[in-house]
Chains A and B, each alone.
Chain A
Amino acid sequence: MKILVPVKRVIDYNVKPRVKADQSGVDLANVKMSMNPFDEIAVEEAIRLKEAGKADEIVVVSIGEQKAQETLRTGLAMGADRGILVVADAMPEPLAVAKILAKVVEEESPDLVILGKQAIDDDSNQVGQMLAALLDWPQGTFASKVEPADGKVNVTREVDGGLETLSLSTPAIITTDLRLNEPRYASLPNIMKAKKKPIDEKTPADYGVDTAARLEVLKVIEPPKREAGEIVPDVDTLVAKIKEKGFAA
């Protein structure tokens, strides 16, 4: 079984994003960038399937600026076999990303594509579902358990009311949720080894995908700031405040 894992280079989750003064976007100059955390979970899941003898090849793919190569190297150091970098000047929107990924899938014919459920920069939560639509494949989104078996894969999903398990025919799309696994850190020897693993470089044009934006971003602003309130000295004062506000009699 072959697994494709799309990984996005995003602002590190520990960094507090700052909006640019000219309202054109979020300031990413000199900001720490990392692999989208949900994509680390996706890479980890693929590696575990390989370690369990259920998969034999893992290909990581990233769409973005040249530096997304670092993100691919992270995936390779974790244990993926090779990478594909699709260099695009501006970050394409989810639909265009899905269209490029659909072409990669056509070329690579994986049995599973495991994506993150959401990129923590755009918070779109779209690409996996869109890719599934373009390929006409089934989708197991927000996965907390993935069990492949014989032309099928069972996926347990985190849904609003709790958990739900679906059976999907393969090939299939899976998107990861936080409880699927805990991603490993790459060891130093594996980081060294990853430098020799192959990365193929492409452009959206190679795949014939138009990446023109459909959404015009008119402005990006900071949300209204919440004023910090007061520190109350004791429980009695807190009780008084709660009653004053009418939350308890």
Chain B
Amino acid sequence: MSTLILADHDNKELAPATLVAVTAAAKLGGDVHVLVAGEGSQAVADAAAKIAGVAKVLHADDAAYGHALAENLAPLVEGLMGDYDYLLAPATSTGKNVLPRVAAKMDTQMISEIVAINDDGSFDRPTYAGNAISTVKSSDAKKVITVRGTAFDKADAEGGSASVEAVSGAGDSGKSSFVSAEIAESERPELTSAGIVVSGGRALQSGENFEKIIEPLADKLGAAVGASRAAVDAGYVPNDYQVGQTGKIVAPELYIAIGISGAIQHLAGMKDSKTIIAINKDEDAPIFSVADYGLVADLYKAVPELTEKL
């Protein structure tokens, strides 16, 4: 038995979610290999080789793979799958984009965002915004799976000494090309791997209020900043802040929801957090039904006071 993991990275660093996929792969048993496809991505291949439990790194370095275009990556991955029983990727935007394309080429019904691997070879995955957990067993010869980033521990980034083998694929499909990106650089921890997340909702009313009220609290706690869909739609914060069913899934040690009502779509993205604090002026807000500590208060008074007193 053997597993190939499609690594997520930005050509410089390995995304931490990749380490979660390694843990899931180890649970499946057998050899674990990691594919690093990128451009100028030697540092990532070297980092992947150090992950504890990884036996081999396949490194495809080519301009065609620099932006993780699905049209170029999918044939490369598919071409390598002859030797493997499982294909895994973290359920990041790249994993979600590329893996179904590979699965269809392999005539395989992919399994999205697993949260558990059971002894009988079945998998658990949340559906209906996390309101139902389905246990599914695949009859496909090879299995293609994305792994939810919060569901397994991260494998040790150090301790392994895998060999790195260069591989190549067909390269550029000519069907798509990269034009530009707006990737925000932030000093704060990354949302999906942060230990503490402070999120704001529609009640913040503006981007300035996010800066004045949410960010100082986040900075005090060394936290990442998240948001509800309503706050993103209104343009208070960028799209990559959205926590929820159709945004990012987080499960930090502490999640603080401020001026967020707690719609099921939002809860789907944060209710596995260890401790939840909610600040909302409406005592009937559904967010209080999942909060360990609730404060019924006007956020414009309570949050600055909280930041001050911490």
A interface residues, Cβ below 8 angstroms from B: 11, 13, 16-19, 25-26, 38, 93-95, 98, 117-118, 120-134, 137-142, 144, 154, 157-169, 177-179, 213-223, 226, 228-232, 234-236, 238-239, 241-243, 245, 247-248
Contact = CB atoms under 8 A, between A and B. Distances in A.
Contacts, number: 260
Nearest first, the 7 A-B pairs at minimum CB distance are A129-B100, A229-B292, A130-B104, A133-B104, A214-B109, A138-B175, A126-B100
Contacts of B104: 95, 98, 129-131, 133-134
Contact of A235 (B131, B133, B306): B306
A214 B240 contact: no
A230 B175 contact: no
A231 B288 contact: yes
Nearest to B102: A133
A123 B178 contact: no
Interface residues of B, number: 93
A95 B25 CA distance: 23
B291 A228 contact: yes
Contact of A126 (B103, B105, B245): B103
Interface of B: 10, 15, 67, 69-71, 74, 92-94, 96-105, 107-113, 122, 126-140, 173-184, 192, 196, 220-221, 229, 232-233, 238-240, 242, 245-246, 248, 253-254, 264-265, 271, 275-277, 283, 288-297, 302, 305-306, 309-310
Contact of B180 (A133, A141, A165, A218): A165
Decide if the interface of chain A is mainly helix, strand, loop or mixed. mixed
Nearest to B264: A16
B131 A164 contact: no
A117 B180 CA distance: 21
A177 B239 contact: yes
Contact of B138 (A140, A163, A214, A220): A214
A159 B240 contact: yes
Contacts of A167: 176-179
